[in-house]
Structures are given as C-alpha cells and as structure tokens.
Chains A and B, each alone.
Chain A
Amino acid sequence: GESVGLHLPTLSVQEGDNSIINCAYSNSASDYFIWYKQESGKGPQFIIDIRSNMDKRQGQRVTVLLNKTVKHLSLQIAATQPGDSAVYFCAENRGSSGGSNYKLTFGKGTLLTVNP
C-alpha cells in the first residue's frame, strides 16, 4: 500500500558534521510535506515544511529538499549538535478528495544520534 517510508532507521554522526535524513513517499497526489523532531518521551516538534510546488526550503540550520520525480524528501541539518539527537519523522498530506482534509500520514522515523 502507499506509505511514507524511510531509507535508514538509524543515523549516527559526529558533532559538527552535516546530517541528511531521507524519506520516500509513493503518493503522487501528496502536496505537502513536513518534518518533525521527537525527543524521548516528548511530543513531536515542527521543524520545517514544504509544499509540492517547491524544491527546496531553508530554515535555521535545516534544509528540506523535495524531488517529486523520484518521490523523495530529505532533511539536512548543518553542523549537527548533541541537542539534535532525536527521532525525525517525515509526514505527508495526501491531498483532499472533496472537502477539507487536513490529515498527515507519518513515516516510521529515523533515530539520529550525535556523537560528541
């Protein structure tokens, strides 16, 4: 079935390195994507989002890239810090089929570990 999936369940990086977390999606109708960060025992925090009419969006130390041709989404974190250690989820909105449909479908998540 259609789903939002991740290439790697875990990622370990050295402090100061750049991190890249990948996400694949299969629904061509998805028009909105979002990345969340979830620290242990807490609710997910919004990081950055991107609409399907964009290829790239930048925030503070984070960049999201969207490749609609291969249905791939990535989150890049520059100069990764120990505080970036968390599980990162991508999520998609699969478009509305008549009426408002503000629902998100989440992937399983990638555990990012930053080594000092």
Chain B
Amino acid sequence: SQTIHQWPATLVQPVGSPLSLECTVEGTSNPNLYWYRQAAGRGLQLLFYSVGIGQISSEVPQNLSASRPQDRQFILSSKKLLLSDSGFYLCAWSVRGYEQYFGPGTRLTVT
C-alpha cells in the first residue's frame, strides 16, 4: 500500500531563516506531487505541483520554491522566511486519477 511521509511535523523558525520541508511517497511510481498551504480555519491553497522529476509548476507567486530531485521526493524550500509563511503545509500525491492523498502535514510557525 502507498504511504506518504512529511517531516518535520512541527517547526518554529525565525524570520529571515531558510526552510526545507520534505515529503516522500512509498508504494507507487511516477506520482503527481503537490504542496499546499492551509492557513488557520481556511481551505487549502495549492502552491506547487509536479508531474515528474525536475518538473515543477508554481501556482502562486511567493517566497517559496519546490524541487523534485527523485521520483517520490518533493521538497519545499525558502531562502528567507517571512511571517506570512506561517501555516500548515501539506504534501499530497495522486496517480492515474484526480483523487489526491495527503500526508500528515507540517505546522510551520515563523516568529
């Protein structure tokens, strides 16, 4: 069966510090991968998606970037965090269909 991992689970970072969040998927090949951000009490905002290694599409202009160095690895990064980058970051995967399956999320607090 497929599983998706995200780490860290929680992170507190100062403004201006770098960020690296990692997502890995097991049990499937060539998945579509997604990064979402969720503000408190709000819906999910799609940040990036990838249909293959090295292929990244950005949905909104922002202070973040994404990379996909391996088939089942998706990384979300920032060189300098802003207060507005705080939120709940979710990684998701899909294959052969529209349904997406989400990881446990990373709670990021920028102070």
Contact = CB atoms under 8 A, between A and B. Distances in A.
Q: Do A and B come from one complex?
A: yes
Interface of A: 32, 34, 36, 41-46, 49, 89, 91, 93, 100, 102-109
A49 B99 contact: yes
Contacts of B98: 32, 34, 49, 93, 102, 104
Tell me the interface secondary structure of chain B in the complex: strand
Contacts, number: 51
23 contacts: A34-B98, A34-B100, A36-B102, A43-B92, A43-B102, A43-B103, A44-B44, A44-B90, A44-B102, A49-B98, A49-B99, A89-B43, A91-B44, A93-B98, A102-B32, A102-B49, A102-B100, A103-B34, A103-B59, A104-B100, A105-B46, A106-B43, A108-B42
B97 to A, nearest CB: 8
Interface of B: 32, 34, 42-44, 46, 49, 51, 59, 90, 92, 94, 97-105, 107
